[in-house]
Amino acid sequence: MCNIYTLMAQSKGQLTLGYWAIRGLAEPSRLLLHYTKTPYNDEFYVQGDAPEYSRDEWFSKKSKLGLDFPNLPYLFDGDIKLTQSKTILCYLARKYHLMGKNEREEAVISMIIDQSHDLRSELNGVCYHPKEDFATDKQQFIETKLTEQLKLFEDFLKKTGKKWSCSDDITAADFQLFEYIDSCLMLDESIIDKYSHLKNFMKHFREIPELENYLKQEHAQRPLNNKVAIFGGTVIPRNKA
Ligand SMILES: N[C@@H](CCC(=O)N[C@@H](CS)C(=O)NCC(=O)O)C(=O)O
């Protein structure tokens, strides 16, 4: 049911984060865990190769983990077992005091988390299920949805004028916003040049000392999407520092 690493992690009281061996919907939580220097166990599931792209590695365990709503990602923290990526991120953020200083900040953080998640879902549509062909859908996504959303995030950052997206202290929103904007930039790095506040936010995030190594190593070596995706199923080389 549980592998040896999960059992070892549980016996040490460590968290376990289960997900595909990709960035996908788990990476904001991984970034937060690395930022807080939390020892945790990544339980990776690997999708099979073409042409089947089997998900059996996950499906053979899916109903045996004691999850109320079995899905990936999942988080085990002692007897707390959670699914839903935003729930997991917010749970971790509350645990490590990264969910804002008051109700107002928390509400805005939640909004940025949801808004970024919706953008990532749109990107998924292009990467996994293009309506026409990938090149056409990619261009259309960049020119419409992505342009519109980047402008909204840019205006938001400009308006709030804080050190991070929602506060002068880093919050859960920043891990989600960074990861999902960065995922979109995989399509075309130059898009960000038009948005100075957002560009500065991304740079600032990349320079966080606690994350520098993780971003350059593990994170950079993990594909964005699963193998079955038309785009991002393998590691895309970057020029970023
Ligand atoms: N709303 C869910 C979506 C979860 C989801 O779609 N997970 C995909 C990977 S991104 C999956 O493969 N789930 C496993 C399953 O459906 O059994 C979340 O945000 O966590």
**pLDDT at position 241:** 41
Share of the chain above pLDDT 70, in %: 94
In the predicted model, is pLDDT for residue 2 greater than 60?
no
- By the 10 Å C-beta count (0-12 exposed, 13-18 middle, 19+ buried), 115 is classed as middle
What pLDDT is stored for residue 131 in this prediction? 82
Backbone angles phi, psi at 80, to 5 degrees: -85, 125
Pocket (CB within 6 angstroms of ligand 1): 24-25, 62, 71-73, 84-86
Ligand 1 pocket check: which of 72, 123, 180 to mutate, most ligand atoms within 8 Å of Cβ?
72
pLDDT at 52 over 60: yes
- Report how far apart the first and last C-alpha atoms of the chain are (Å, whole number): 40
pLDDT of 50 strictly over 70: yes
Please enumerate in sequence order all residues whose Cβ is within 8 A of that of 121, keeping only pairs 6 or more positions apart, or say none: none
* Residue 1 pLDDT level (bands cut at 50, 70, 90): very low
Domains, the chain: 4-95 (1.20.1050.130), 103-210 (1.20.1050.10)
Across residues 58-84, what is the average pLDDT? Answer: 98
User: 49 C-alpha vs ligand 1 centroid, how far in Å?
Assistant: 19
Q: Residue 191 carries which DSSP code?
A: G
Cα 73 to ligand 1 centre (Å): 6
What is the whole-number distance in angstroms between the Cα of residue 31 and the centre of ligand 1?
A: 19
| pLDDT for residue 238 | 83
